[in-house]
Amino acid sequence: MGEELSLYVAHMCVRYVFLYFFHSVIFLLIFLTSMSTASSIWGNGFRYVLLILGFLCLTSICSNYIIINFTFICMARDDSEKVDTGNGVRKMKNYPSNCMRKGCRSRRVIPKTFFQTFKNRFVYSAAEKSSIIWAVAIGTILGTFPVNYYYIKFGARWPFFISGILSVFSTALIPLAASLGLPYLLFSRFVQGLAYAADFAAIGILCVRWAPLSQMGLFISVLTAFTSVSSIVTNPLSAWLCESTLGWRSAYYIHAAFGLFVFILWIIIYNDDPHLHPSVSEKELAKIQEDKTQTHIERDSFVPYKEIIKNKVILIVWFNAFTEMTTVTLLLVYAPIYFHNVLGYDIPTTGVLVSFAASIHLPLKFAGGFISDRITSVSERHKMWFFNSIAVGLAGIFCALIGVFPANWSKTGVALFTITFTCMGMNPGGFYKCATLSSRQYAHFVLATIQFMKCIALFVGPAMVAFLVTDERNHDQWKYVYWINGFLLNVANLAFIPIATDQPAPFTLITRTTRKVHAEEIDGSLGYKIANTEMSRNRAKKSGSQHSIVVNKETFINRFDYSSTEKSSIIWAVAIGTILGTFPINYFYIKFGARWPFFISGIMSVFSTAFIPLAASLGLPYLLFCRFVQGLAYAADFAAIGILCVRWAPLSQTGLFISVLTTFTPVSTVITNPLSGWLCESTLGWRSAYYIHAAFGLFVFILWIICYHDDPHLHPSVSEKELSKIQKDKTQAHIERDSFVPFKEIIKNKVILIVWFNAFTEMTTVTLLLVYAPIYFHNVLGYDIPTTGMAIYWAYTNTEFDPGILVSFAASIHLPLKFVGGLISDHVTCVSERYKMWFFNSIAVGLAGVFCALIGVFPADWSKTGVALFTLVITCMGMNPGGFYKCGTLSSRQYAHFVLATIQFMKCVALFVGPAMVALLVTDERNHDQWRYVYWINGFLLNVANLAFIPIATDKPAPFTLITRTTRKVHAESADGPPIASIEMNRNNKTNNGSRHCIVVNKYL
């Protein structure tokens, strides 16, 4: 009776929520359109129709990706599909010790021992849940800037429609994907993430094209409400469907059908240009365009990216958005789990409470946007202070209080959750409005980047929970999550107050025309002619009868002459590909070994490299795609190093293997820079550099697939003596191939975290030095291209020399020391491993940081000193195999491939952070005073990382190396009842005693 009553209450709450939502939309539409006095069907309020339609489309995409947050609970109770865990014994026969042959007549038949263990296919561990949520984040990270590019190029109509259809079909296929297995589910979630990347850019386009400046707050408040409304609708609907006879799968089908409906309406009704839309009256058009500049009104694909990302107002807006998005993600994504597991509410009540907490702020959100627009007695800046202090500052205080009150204060917890959300409803009048008014016609890019912040939050939020919360029922673990987020929200608000403004930023004056004129003025007389021509044309327009000067002059630019921002984008494309590829490729390494995954990655690298000249000729987007594929392939490198060290390296030669395998970065620089420099200057041309490298790559990867095998004991070329050498002192878990990895325990281990921190700081510095060395040597230190490509020979001889090898020699001189360092680290036994790690890491990270900082101290005209310091930094870093690399490998043992694959992830993040740092600090590549801050920051971080390494470093295997698939299952069984441990003991006894019968168990997990 109680269960039926709760279901009835939940059903009525769902109906109430839907009626509330439906009538609110209808009332808002009628109220807003009634403001018009025109006699047409829409009057002068057609923009409100698009406002509501855009809001519904945004809500659909967001709802589609959050369905799973609630259905996690229901899927865990679905016993319709079970899978064999694989730890059962199908058939066992024992033979007496004196008769092992199968045909022996004296064979005694022993009863068969048979047991199987099953688990619910849809029960996911905390790490798997985090992966399922992260899949959306990765898709959104990958999709944000490409989708924004298509918005800029084609407007919002078709890109937003295509994104919506992607969301619809990926949502409809999720039940099937979950039945097929976790990889298929992750792929569907990734596609949902790609579609979700379209949301905030669509908001930006709608505000730029259709919102009058006087109604900007209203448009932002309505459009940004989609996250909360999707939670209001989706959580109770999913809860009701889970408990109904339709089942949890129907939640996906119903949401997909609604999404298909609203996006069909979108493609029929929407147009990017108000003046071309037949439903827009002259009066409404005048209202939309009031006080906007011509550049704001006109559609143009130009965006001054560098100037935007360096503007302090926009940076503070993005910081506020990131902190708020992280908190919202945590509250919305984990609210059902927190309310159910910590506060103790049942499933229907949880659905209603989460929806109520997320919905109560909506009236205030709309009211806040309306008030922000209508109150004129207070300046815009003071209004922004007020609204942001509530939406970010006060919300942070209440968020921190959630962690203060204990779990048995469940009503207080729900109330604080609700108040936090209510406060955040004021954000349209805070940082959102500041961003839109400051960026004006470029608001779509600023808001698209807020979407990027949101997808980073989708990654950071679950990572924070995975790191801090090991038991989802433990309030004492959850409270740190709320405290951290509350603190960051208040820091963001304090940074916002002195910076916020409603005035258009300086970059809003930059257009395609002014940028071209500025560029031409730098070139000389041609810029003068174009400027005068433009002035004459403008005078002719004003005077009517005055003739303008006719200048018929065509200007051309080199297709391959990329700006600093475009260069950063080309480098970032590799970083994004590597970010996206690192963990999926590591999964395939764990599942299938290194042979085929590494070969496929190599072939991807070969073909993408061979196609780069063609892609560059076709245009920047094609080049970015090829670079992205190169990044996917590059993600395979460090996991391959890990597999080779785990499978083929004796423990006594770990340093040697690491020192050789990790030299691929500097060796590639040693070979590629002078070779490319020579080919560029030769008659073969720069394209031949790509073709030659691709041909070499094809050759070595064919050798790889022929020669390599993951198991030394199965390789015909490995002798017994060599095999014993390889396996010496290794545990059985280290030797055996298994796809199990205790991810959570690894990412929480302090030794591994410090290793990753050292790797990240070193990788960032290496990326900056190697990637930007040719630019720095050529533009700052003044060397020509062939010389820049080669050595530091002149630094030790005061002679002039022919085209040589500056960058390459600087990068290569440390290679002998790298190999020697690896050998010394292995063979010197009079010093403990820990002291050796201290020594090598202090050189590779600490001393390298000192020399790196010194590069920024000496002026540009000390060119030989600059090259010498560059060489010393790289040389010192050659000692890293004996430092953090060896520490990471020896600590993680059989799981070293995952630890090193994550170092690859750090490397790809460094590929993103390094260029971002240069783009932020260096506006003129010839200015040494700007470059010095880059070197100082990196030098400081290197020394911090080394100081953190010294007290933590160890060569002992970490506790997680004792965790295997078997021990994890036994631990899980011991918590549930009749353990498999006893079965294993019986099996061992049977094996020892020969005739003993085993217990027959058919156990469902």
Q: What is the pLDDT of residues 182-221, one digit of tens each?
A: 888 989 999 998 898 888 778 878 887 888 877 877 887 7
What band does 998 get if pLDDT is binned at 50, 70 and 90? Answer: very low
Classify strands 116-120 and 82-84 as parallel, antiparallel or unpaired.
Answer: antiparallel
Those residues with Cβ within 8 angstroms of residue 5's Cβ, 6 or more apart along the chain or in another chain:
none
- 3-class DSSP state of 254: helix
Closest to 780 measured CA to CA, from 890, 889, 548, 935: 935
- Per-residue pLDDT for 731 more than 70? no
> What's the rounded Cα separation, in Å, for the pair 452 and 456?
6
- Per-residue pLDDT for 980 more than 50? no
Query: Could you tell me the CA-to-CA distances from 884 to 503, 556, 648, 655, 849 in Å, in that order?
Result: 49, 51, 20, 11, 15
Length of the chain: 1005
> What's the rounded Cα separation, in Å, for the pair 8 and 339?
20
Q: pLDDT > 90: what percent of the chain?
A: 10
Distance of CA 559 to the CA centre of its chain: 31
User: Which range, of 619-623, 879-883, 942-946, 999-1003, averages the lowest pLDDT?
Assistant: 999-1003
What band does 255 get if pLDDT is binned at 50, 70 and 90? Answer: very high
Q: What is the pLDDT of residue 61?
A: 93
> What's the rounded Cα separation, in Å, for the pair 117 and 291?
70
- The boundaries of every CATH 1.20.1250.20 domain in the chain are 1-35+47-78+123-289+305-507, 564-962
Q: What average pLDDT score do residues 476-483 get? A: 86
Q: What is the pLDDT of residue 734?
A: 61
Query: Could you tell me the CA-to-CA distances from 564 to 272, 436, 920 in Å, in that order?
Result: 31, 26, 11
CATH of 1-35+47-78+123-289+305-507, one of 3.30.70.1350, 1.20.1250.20, 3.40.50.170, 1.20.1050.10: 1.20.1250.20
- Per-residue pLDDT for 55 more than 80? yes
* Residue 127 and residue 91 in contact, taking contact as beta carbons nearer than 8 Å: no
Distance of CA 700 to the CA centre of its chain: 31
- Select, from the ranges 283-292, 349-358, 430-439, the one with the highest average predicted confidence (pLDDT): 430-439
Tokens 């459009």 sit on residue: 223
Those residues with Cβ within 8 angstroms of residue 338's Cβ, 6 or more apart along the chain or in another chain:
478
Q: What average pLDDT score do residues 566-587 get? A: 76
Task: Say if residue 913 is exposed, middle or buried (CB neighbours under 10 Å; 0-12, 13-18, 19+).
Answer: middle
Instruction: Transcribe 899-924 into DSSP letters.
Output: HHHHHHHHHHHHHHHHHHHHHHH-SS
**Angle, in degrees to the nearest 10, between helices 443-468 and 431-439:** 150
Q: What average pLDDT score do residues 372-377 get? A: 80
Q: What is the pLDDT of residue 428?
A: 82
> What's the rounded Cα separation, in Å, for the pair 162 and 244?
32
Task: Read off the tokens for 909.
Answer: 């993040």
Closest to 366 measured CA to CA, from 217, 211, 233: 217
> What's the rounded Cα separation, in Å, for the pair 833 and 196?
49
> What's the rounded Cα separation, in Å, for the pair 332 and 566?
37
Of the two residues 785 and 538, the one the predictor is more confident about is: 785
Query: Could you tell me the CA-to-CA distances from 236 to 97, 242, 414 in Å, in that order?
Result: 65, 10, 16
User: Which range, of 480-484, 517-521, 603-607, 986-990, averages the lowest pLDDT?
Assistant: 986-990
pTM over 0.85? The answer is no
- Per-residue pLDDT for 620 more than 80? yes
What is the layout of strands, in order, in the sheet containing 116-120? Answer: 82-84, 116-120, 1002-1004
User: Which range, of 37-46, 67-76, 524-533, 943-952, averages the lowest pLDDT?
Assistant: 524-533
Q: What average pLDDT score do residues 616-639 get? A: 84
- Per-residue pLDDT for 440 more than 90? no
Tokens 């061979």 sit on residue: 610
Closest to 170 measured CA to CA, from 145, 189, 151, 196: 189
Those residues with Cβ within 8 angstroms of residue 899's Cβ, 6 or more apart along the chain or in another chain:
642, 746, 752, 755, 756, 888, 889, 891, 892
Contacts 24+ apart (CB under 8 A), 742-747: 742/895, 742/960, 742/963, 742/968, 743/127, 743/898, 744/126, 744/127, 744/466, 744/470, 745/959, 745/960, 745/963, 746/892, 746/895, 746/898, 746/899, 746/958, 746/960, 747/466, 747/467, 747/902
Q: What average pLDDT score do residues 749-753 get? A: 89
Q: Give the helix/strand (H/E) hosting 116.
A: strand 116-120
What band does 164 get if pLDDT is binned at 50, 70 and 90? Answer: very high
Per-residue model confidence as pLDDT tens digits over 380-437:
888 888 989 998 999 999 988 888 887 788 788 888 888 888 888 888 888 888 888 8
Signed CA dihedral, 400, 404, 409, 410: sign only: positive
Those residues with Cβ within 8 angstroms of residue 915's Cβ, 6 or more apart along the chain or in another chain:
567, 568, 571, 572, 575, 771
User: Which range, of 103-107, 296-300, 989-993, averages the lowest pLDDT?
Assistant: 989-993
Of the two residues 701 and 666, the one the predictor is more confident about is: 701
Q: What average pLDDT score do residues 931-947 get? A: 89
- Per-residue pLDDT for 520 more than 50? no
Q: pLDDT > 70: what percent of the chain?
A: 73
Q: Residue 136: left (phi > 0), alpha (psi -120 to 50), or beta?
A: alpha
- Per-residue pLDDT for 785 more than 80? no
DSSP 780: T
> What's the rounded Cα separation, in Å, for the pair 894 and 646?
6
* Residue 675 and residue 938 in contact, taking contact as beta carbons nearer than 8 Å: no
> What's the rounded Cα separation, in Å, for the pair 123 and 82?
10
- Select, from the ranges 33-47, 167-181, 214-228, 853-867, the one with the highest average predicted confidence (pLDDT): 167-181
Task: Read off the tokens for 58.
Answer: 């945004």
- Select, from the ranges 156-165, 731-740, 759-768, the one with the highest average predicted confidence (pLDDT): 156-165
- The C-alpha angle 820, 826, 832, rounded to 5 degrees, equals 120
Tokens 């994104």 sit on residue: 163
Q: What average pLDDT score do residues 912-936 get? A: 79
Q: What is the largest CA-CA distance in the chain?
A: 120
What band does 836 get if pLDDT is binned at 50, 70 and 90? Answer: confident
Tokens 């296929």 sit on residue: 173
DSSP 115: B
Q: What is the pLDDT of residue 266?
A: 92
Distance of CA 934 to the CA centre of its chain: 24
Sequence letter at residue 45: G
Q: What is the pLDDT of residue 857?
A: 83
Q: What is the pLDDT of residue 878?
A: 79
What mean pLDDT value characterizes the chain? 74
Distance of CA 675 to the CA centre of its chain: 34
Q: What is the dihedral of CA 29, 33, 39, 41, to 10 degrees?
A: -30
* Residue 134 and residue 459 in contact, taking contact as beta carbons nearer than 8 Å: yes
Topology of 564-962 in CATH?
Growth Hormone; Chain: A; (1.20.1250)
Q: What is the pLDDT of residue 86?
A: 52
What band does 812 get if pLDDT is binned at 50, 70 and 90? Answer: low
